[in-house]
A and B are shown apart, each in its own frame.
Chain A
Amino acid sequence: GAVVSQHPSWVICKSGTSVKIECRSLDFQATTMFWYRQFPKQSLMLMATSNEGSKATYEQGVEKDKFLINHASLTLSTLTVTSAHPEDSSFYICSAPRFLGAAYEQYFGPGTRLTVT
Chain B
Amino acid sequence: GQSLEQPSEVTAVEGAIVQINCTYQTSGFYGLSWYQQHDGGAPTFLSYNALDGLEETGRFSSFLSRSDSYGYLLLQELQMKDSASYFCAVFHGSSNTGKLIFGQGTTLQVKP
CB contacts (< 8 Å) of A105 on chain B: these are 33, 45, 48
* Contact of B54 with A by CB under 8 A: no
Is the pair B103, A108 in contact by a Cβ cutoff of 8 Å?
no
Is the pair B42, A109 in contact by a Cβ cutoff of 8 Å?
yes
Given contacts A42-B104, A110-B41, contact A104 B99 (CB under 8 A): no
- What 0/1 readout, one digit per residue, does chain B (19-46) give for beta carbons within 8 Å of chain A? 0000000000011010000000111110
Is the pair B42, A104 in contact by a Cβ cutoff of 8 Å?
no
A106 to B19, CA, bound (A): 23
* Contact of B101 with A by CB under 8 A: yes
* Contact of A54 with B by CB under 8 A: no
Shortest Cβ distance from A99 into B: residue: B95
Is the pair A43, B31 in contact by a Cβ cutoff of 8 Å?
no
- CB contact list, A92-112 vs B, under 8 A: 93, 95, 99, 102-111
- What 0/1 readout, one digit per residue, does chain A (38-58) give for beta carbons within 8 Å of chain B? 000011111001000000000
Q: Name the one of B30, B100, B105 contacting A34, with C-beta atoms under 8 angstroms.
A: B100
Shortest Cβ distance from A6 into B: residue: B42
Q: Name the one of A34, A45, A108 contacting B42, with C-beta atoms under 8 angstroms.
A: A108
Is the pair A106, B105 in contact by a Cβ cutoff of 8 Å?
no
A104 to B44, CA, bound (A): 13
CB contacts (< 8 Å) of A93 on chain B: these are 42-43
